[in-house]
Amino acid sequence: MKKQRQKHKPAGHRYTTLKQLCNLIPGHMVTNLAKKHGVDARSRTYTPWSHVVSLLYAHFAHALGLNDVCDALQMNAAALSTIRGAVPPSRNNLSHANQVRDANMAEELYWSMMKHLMDTVPGFAKGKVRSGYLRRFSKAIHALDSTTIQLVANSMDWAKHRRRKAAAKCHMRLDLQSFLPRCAIVDTAKHHDSRKTLSLCADLEAGEIVVFDKAYIKFKHLFELTERGINWAGRAKDNMQYTVMRSLETTKNKRILRDEVIELMLEKSKKAYPCELRRVVALVEINGKDVEMVFLTKHLEWSEWTVAELYRCRWDIEVFFKEIKQTLQLSDFLGYSANAVRWQVWTGLLVHLLMRCLKFMHGWDHSFKRLFTVVRVSLWRRWNLPALLESYGTAKPPGRIRGAPEQAYLPGFI
């Protein structure tokens, strides 16, 4: 009987996987932010660092509640203490910290860590990591959208937006070339997406491109973007009234139906956006069927297919939202207050950032979900993390070229 080949065991390490991940966060960063936001004044035995580590663990382990987090950390208190003296919380400590400690600290921690990783990890979030059509543009391309996070209606009155529903929303501006957020707002779901447009686009620079869905079509704001020299493209609303000024010549692409220069007809809309607009009608394949879509832009020099392709690239932000919802713990919350929800969402985004950096540093070329799974099941193991990813058989190419020398790997993976 042929003996089954055993998978190579990764090299040992003096630290647990969880500690190796937490070591990516500089030791002074959490302490300084806690002082800045007054969080250290509200803590006695349960330090701000212990609080952050507890919430990071809740996401990595997919903890289902306070008891899940507290019991697991208590059982691994010895290993936890090696993470810069972090201590396991009691149920009351963790609940109280989520409720009263300023969640703005978690938000600033996320952006501080992004800047730190971009400065210390060469190439992270700086190069054009997105392939294909986006490589044609030298300026940054951003996508605006929001995702709804369902909450418990009978426990979270502050988040009610329907009679029997409660939810929070994460509004985001995603850099489509680095696939990382550039602006994010966590708020209740009862407000329309267009109300957050000004805040999401506040720090865009002239020449950059922003794409969005019809929910963000607000003519007054679009004119402000035009005045600032920002290029934009989005879907037109179905009830938009306009006058066709002239038709532009289209290429031989059969999927482009019309390319027109228009002016808005209604007095209120024309006052908000007094300039000409470009209207492109194209066939877009969705779920195997061709659907007619109408796009708007202020740019008259792009080809009509460029406008349609830019909007197609906007779907990458949907992939981002799917990625965080499949990996982070955003279905069960450790607290009912708005502050507790914000703590959990922002620390979840921090976990995603750390995993994206890990993926970049160790050349992980497979799914993000599988990377998260490998890390999650080894949190308390004392294994060398880079060696773990390599020995798991997914950080290196799956095979060799037939007939090639033994050490010749597939091109592009060396």
Say what the pLDDT of residue 49 is. 95
Say what the pLDDT of residue 133 is. 59
25 DSSP 8-state letter: S
- Do residues 200 and 268 make contact, with C-beta atoms less than 8 angstroms apart? no
Residue 36 has pLDDT above 70, yes or no: yes
Residue 363 has pLDDT above 90, yes or no: no
Average pLDDT for residues 198-207, to the nearest whole number? 88
Measured CA to CA in angstroms, residue 382 lies from 12, 81, 233 at distances of 6, 14, 49
Which residues are within 8 A (CB) of 19 and not within 5 positions of it... i.e. 6 or more apart? Answer: 79, 82, 83
Q: What is the pTM of this model?
A: 0.86
Average pLDDT for residues 202-214, to the nearest whole number? 90
Q: Where are the domains of the chain?
A: 17-106+337-391, 132-325
Distance CA 260, CA 245 (A): 8
131-186: per-residue pLDDT in tens? 555 667 778 889 999 888 877 555 566 556 565 667 788 889 999 888 899 999 88
Provide the pairing of β-strand 256-264 with 242-247.
Answer: antiparallel
Q: Which CATH class is domain 132-325?
A: alpha beta
226-260: per-residue pLDDT in tens? 999 999 999 998 889 999 998 888 777 788 888 99
Provide the pairing of β-strand 209-212 with 141-151.
Answer: parallel
Tokens for 112, please give them.
């501080």
Using pLDDT thresholds of 50, 70 and 90, give the confidence band for residue 304: confident
